[in-house]
């Protein structure tokens, strides 16, 4: 038998005669073996791993895992984990399309003492010495293989993660792969992978932030940059504007401005560094320098950077500010030179001098031509004056006919909300092969300046990109039709997941809460233009195939008429989630979303709606009042009754309850920002004892 690898190279030759190959078997461990008549294993898949190891599998010296290129591309990617001959277990980035290691971004520091990486049946992944003694624990799932299926994967983004899948038949526990209790390696790849060559965890000109699943989320800078290939974000981002001219005869410095991002840096790509300077000096220096794409300012130092930018990151630990040069939105291109009139006047003179007798006829002809020209120019001007979103980067412009065909005449309705009606559709790929499902939202009751607002909001929404936001894929802006095309969320909305007969996994609810908090924090603080959602509720949080939470309908509140809402008038939002300031003629800020999130967080904790008419105990009818009473009485057990996972993590439950009570304070100034809420939920900062609110909206 001849066994080949994917490239066609021979791996193993097994003679069919004598003691050659007799059978192949896939063992319960997941190991595929080839054996002879004496049950001697001639070849096994555990000795030739790809990106995954399973319980009972061992990585011996010289063996390595290679991450796949992307989620759907299983060819060798940009990262590898190697059990080195010297005893060190090392994570490397690689020079993609070549097979050599680039930069080590994590190592076990067991050089001289390490020998093998073992994944045993108790869920432990550890390094052993030559005498088989354990010298370092790498991962621990918290359960044995009797309780769950397990795997450890070197993900395509360079994170070494352990996953578990419950074997239990309990109907209340969802059957999905979830991350194990142990921390991923490295803890924050955005901060820990900083290489002199290559793009970093994400592609060039991108910004890396750590997602709620402890894996990197890659985004383009919020204004002026778009994905080079939206289907392959590892290729990075490009400038979606003409760069500053270096032609001194045509200076265009006044057409550019600096977009500010706090706690952001591209630590490589420097070409100049100026110590002991002011921020104003740094700004002016970058604006006047045609080579400068970004200036980084921190601790009175100024760094100027050129394209491509690498190793971009945003995190509280990055105590620097990025000043990103972009073309001003209202800047225009230089007008084209007017055509000279000689080409018209010269023939007129010749004709006039040679055909004097036909002067009247010629004048009549010129009048007709002039009328036609004016009419054509007027038509063009009417078209150019019409509001449009043509050219919004990365989005597909659909005609109404295409939308109608994609939805089969708007046949299957997915839901209705304050912003419009949503239908299920199927869109063919631009290459003509295959396609994918989409959610088509038909907007209604726009403001009087709906066209202008639609154009402005479309541009803002198209520039957002975050793991916990539903991705906008296209739009229709034809005649009176205002339609948005979103990615399709197969697991519907959070309300359908949360409010049912059995309680979903506490671990999954924690992930959802953290994901929604990160998405709101991004909308409030990390977008080029701050977005206030105004209607955070379980129906506006959608779940994808992996039950990752994604916020929908963000950025659309400005498009609605003043009284547009399902259950309220003269305000935005849904009863039970609306912040008190809506009723008090107070200024509205991002803190209204914080309040709504606080109510949503309590619903996630207790797996019930904010208002519950059918309850035996009257104090339990209003969730926010009941939780507050339980907390101040020092008894949180009733909130998670019959929830084994949650009762096993009462410290986490208390942290979430405290955070929620801070969010629903009646005084907006007492509510934390969503960025701080996110840190509270993750346990990165302590949650102080919340004050006792005076009352709650019932």
At residue 293, φ and ψ (nearest 5 deg) are: -95, -35
Same domain, 596 and 628: yes
pLDDT band at 387 (very low <50, low <70, confident <90, very high): very low
**Residues 266, 271, 275: CA angle, nearest 5 degrees:** 85
Which has the minimum average pLDDT: 471-475, 560-564, 624-628? 560-564
Statement to judge: residues 148 and 263 lie in one domain: no
Active-site residue, from 88, 157, 213, 535? 535
Burial class (CB in 10 A: 0-12, 13-18, 19+), 651: exposed
Q: Distance (Å, rounded) from C-alpha 531 to C-alpha 181?
A: 34
CATH classification of the domain holding 126: 2.90.10.10
Residues 97 and 42 in one domain: no
237 Cβ contact partners less than 8 Å away, ≥ 6 residues apart: 203, 204, 205, 206, 220, 221, 225, 226, 227, 228
SS3 state at 541: strand
For 137, the 3-state DSSP assignment is strand
Q: Give the count of domains, the chain.
A: 4
Count of H helices and E strands in the chain?
Answer: 13, 36
Q: How far is 548 from 513, CA to CA, in rounded Å?
A: 10
**577: pLDDT confidence band, cut at 50, 70 and 90?**
confident
HSE (side-chain half, CA atoms, 13 Å) at 595: 28
Whether 561 is covered by a domain: the verdict is: yes
Buried b / exposed e over 365-379, threshold 16 CB at 10 Å, is eeeeeeeeeeeeeee
Query: What mean pLDDT comes out for the span 300-307?
Result: 95
pLDDT band at 364 (very low <50, low <70, confident <90, very high): low
Which tokens hold the place of 30?
A: 């997941």
The last residue of one of the domains, among 137, 156, 187, is 187
Task: Write down the mean pLDDT value for the chain.
Answer: 81
Judged by DSSP in three states, 407 sits in coil
Lowest mean pLDDT among 291-295, 302-306, 549-553, 567-571: 567-571
Tens of pLDDT, residues 473-490:
888 888 888 898 998 988
Q: Where does the pLDDT of residue 586 fall: very low under 50, low under 70, confident under 90, or very high at 90 and above?
A: confident
What is the rounded average pLDDT of the residues 23-50? 89
Q: Do both 177 and 221 map to the same domain?
A: no
Query: 678 Cβ partners below 8 Å, 6+ apart?
Result: 514, 517, 518, 521
- What is the per-residue pLDDT for 379? 39
Q: Say whether both 18 and 135 belong to one domain.
A: no
Q: Assign 54 a pLDDT band (cuts: 50, 70, 90).
A: very high
Choose from 96-100, 139-143, 392-396, 616-620 the range with maximum mean pLDDT. 139-143
Domain limit, last residue, from 297, 327, 357: 327
Q: For a pLDDT cut of 70, what percent of the chain falls above it? A: 79
- Is residue 359's pLDDT more than 70? no
Domain termination site, one of 187, 216, 236: 187
337 pLDDT more than 50: no
Higher pLDDT, residue 565 or 13: 13
What are residue 315's DSSP bridge partners?
A: none
Q: Which CATH number does the domain housing residue 563 bear?
A: 1.10.510.10
Residue 286 lies in a domain: yes
Note the pLDDT of residue 370.
Answer: 57
Do 182 and 307 fall into the same domain? no
Do 171 and 255 share a domain, yes or no? no
Q: Of 134-143, 189-198, 384-393, 652-661, which range is least confident? A: 384-393
Averaged over 569-592, what is the pLDDT? 74
CA distance 456 to 529: 11
Look at residue 61 in the predicted model and tell me its pLDDT.
Answer: 92
Answer yes or no: is 488 within a domain: no
pLDDT at residue 644, rounded to an integer: 85
555 and 679 part of one domain: yes
Q: Round to whole Å and give the CA distance between 490 and 182.
A: 29
396 or 630: which carries more pLDDT confidence?
A: 630
Please indicate whether residue 551 or residue 433 has the higher confidence score (pLDDT). 551
By DSSP bridging, strand 256-262 and strand 270-274 are: unpaired
pLDDT mean over 206-220: 87
Calculate the CA dihedral of residues 442, 443, 444, 448 and round it to 10 degrees. -140
- Examine residue 182 and state whether it is found in any structural domain, yes or no: yes
The model's pLDDT over 409-455, given as tens digits with 9 standing for 90+, comes to 998 888 877 668 899 999 876 544 457 889 999 887 565 555 666 66
pLDDT for the residue numbered 414: 86
Query: Residue 66 pLDDT more than 60?
Result: yes
Does some domain include residue 419? no
**657 found inside a domain:** yes
- Spatial distance between the Cα atoms of 105 and 119, rounded to a whole number of angstroms: 22
Local confidence band at 128 (pLDDT 50, 70, 90 cut-offs): very high
Percent of the chain clearing pLDDT 90 (strictly above)? 36
Helix (H, G, I), strand (E, B) or coil at 190: helix
Known catalytic residue at 86: no
Q: Same structural domain for residues 685 and 616?
A: yes
Res 694 pLDDT > 60:
no
pLDDT value at residue 373 = 53
pLDDT digits 0-9 by tens, 134-187:
988 888 877 788 888 899 999 999 999 999 888 876 544 456 788 887 788 998
Same domain, yes or no: 100 and 235: no
Asked if pLDDT for residue 375 goes beyond 60, the answer is: no
Q: How far is CA 673 from CA 52, 222, 591, 662, in A?
A: 39, 20, 7, 10
* DSSP 3-state percent helix, strand, coil across the chain (nearest 5): 25, 25, 45
Give the per-residue pLDDT at 517.
96
Domain span holding position 230: 207-327
Do residue 645 and residue 512 come from a single domain? yes
pLDDT of residue 340: 35
Lowest-confidence region among 46-60, 96-110, 296-310, 626-640 = 96-110
- pLDDT-derived band of residue 298, with 50, 70 and 90 as boundaries? very high
Flag whether 445 is in a domain. Answer: no
Q: How confident is the model at residue 358 (pLDDT cuts 50, 70, 90)?
A: low
Looking at the structure, tell me whether residues 117 and 217 fall in a common domain: no
Q: Is residue 438 part of a domain?
A: no
């Amino acid at each position: 038998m001849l066994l080949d690898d994917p490239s066609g190279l021979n791996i193993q030759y097994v003679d069919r005669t004598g003691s050659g190959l007799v059978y192949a078997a896939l063992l319960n461990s997941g190991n595929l073996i080839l054996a002879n008549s004496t049950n001697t294993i001639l070849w096994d898949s555990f000795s030739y791993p790809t990106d995954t190891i399973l319980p009972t599998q061992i990585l011996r010296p010289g063996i390595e895992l290679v991450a796949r290129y992307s989620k759907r591309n299983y060819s060798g990617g940009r990262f590898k984990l190697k059990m080195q001959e010297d005893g060190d277990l090392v994570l490397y980035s690689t020079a993609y399309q070549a097979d050599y290691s680039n930069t080590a971004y994590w190592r076990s520091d067991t050089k001289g003492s390490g020998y093998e990486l073992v994944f045993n049946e108790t869920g432990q992944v550890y390094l052993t010495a030559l005498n088989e003694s354990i010298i370092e624990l790498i991962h621990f799932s918290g359960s044995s293989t009797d309780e769950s299926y397990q795997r450890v994967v070197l993900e395509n983004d360079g994170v070494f993660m352990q996953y578990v899948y419950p074997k239990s038949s309990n109907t209340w526990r969802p059957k999905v792969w979830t991350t194990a209790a142990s921390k991923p390696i490295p803890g924050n790849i955005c901060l820990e992978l900083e290489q002199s060559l290559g793009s970093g965890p994400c592609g060039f000109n991108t910004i890396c932030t750590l997602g709620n699943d402890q894996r990197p989320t890659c985004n383009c800078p919020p204004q002026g940059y778009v994905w080079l290939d939206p289907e392959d974000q590892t290729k990075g981002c490009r400038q979606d504007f003409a760069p500053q001219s270096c032609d001194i005869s045509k200076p265009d410095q006044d057409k550019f401005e600096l977009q500010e991002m706090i706690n952001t840096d591209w630590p490589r790509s420097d070409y100049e560094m100026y110590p002991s300077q002011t921020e104003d000096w740094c700004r002016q220096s970058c604006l006047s320098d045609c080579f400068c794409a970004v200036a980084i300012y921190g601790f009175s130092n100024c760094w100027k950077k050129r394209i491509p930018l690498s190793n971009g990151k945003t995190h509280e630990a990055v105590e620097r500010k990025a000043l990103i040069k972009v073309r001003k939105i209202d800047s225009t291109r230089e007008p084209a030179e007017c055509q000279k009139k000689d080409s018209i006047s010269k023939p007129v003179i010749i004709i006039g001098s040679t055909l004097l007798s036909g002067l009247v006829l010629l004048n009549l002809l010129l009048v007709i031509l002039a009328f036609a020209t004016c009419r054509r120019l007027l038509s063009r001007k009417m078209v150019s004056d019409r509001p449009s979103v043509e050219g919004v980067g990365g989005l597909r412009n659909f005609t109404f006919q295409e939308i109608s065909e994609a939805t089969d005449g708007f046949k299957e309705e997915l839901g209705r909300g304050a912003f419009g009606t949503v239908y299920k559709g199927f869109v063919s790929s631009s290459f003509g092969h295959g396609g994918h499902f989409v959610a088509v939202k038909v907007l209604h009751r726009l403001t009087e300046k709906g066209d202008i607002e639609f154009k402005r909001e479309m541009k803002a929404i198209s520039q957002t990109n975050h793991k916990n936001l539903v991705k906008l894929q296209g739009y229709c802006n034809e005649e009176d039709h205002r339609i948005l095309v979103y990615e399709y969320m197969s697991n519907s909305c959070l309300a359908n997941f949360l409010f049912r007969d059995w309680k979903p996994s506490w671990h999954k609810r924690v992930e959802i809460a953290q994901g929604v908090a990160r998405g709101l924090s991004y909308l409030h603080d990390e977008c080029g233009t701050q977005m206030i959602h105004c209607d955070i509720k379980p129906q506006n949080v959608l779940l994808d195939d992996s039950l990752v939470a994604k916020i929908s309908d963000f950025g659309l509140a400005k498009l609605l008429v003043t009284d547009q809402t399902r259950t309220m008038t003269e305000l935005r939002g849904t009863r039970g989630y609306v912040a008190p300031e809506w009723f008090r003629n107070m200024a509205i800020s991002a803190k209204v979303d914080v309040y709504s999130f606080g109510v949503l967080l309590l619903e996630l904790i207790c797996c019930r709606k904010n208002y519950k008419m059918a309850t035996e105990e009257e104090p339990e009818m209003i969730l926010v009042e009941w939780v507050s009473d339980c907390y101040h009485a020092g008894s949180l057990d009733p909130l998670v009754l019959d929830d084994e996972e949650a009762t096993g993590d009462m410290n986490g439950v208390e942290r979430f309850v405290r955070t929620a009570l801070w969010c629903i304070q009646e005084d907006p100034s007492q509510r934390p920002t969503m960025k701080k809420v996110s840190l509270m939920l993750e346990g990165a900062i302590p949650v102080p004892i919340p004050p006792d609110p005076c009352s709650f909206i019932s």
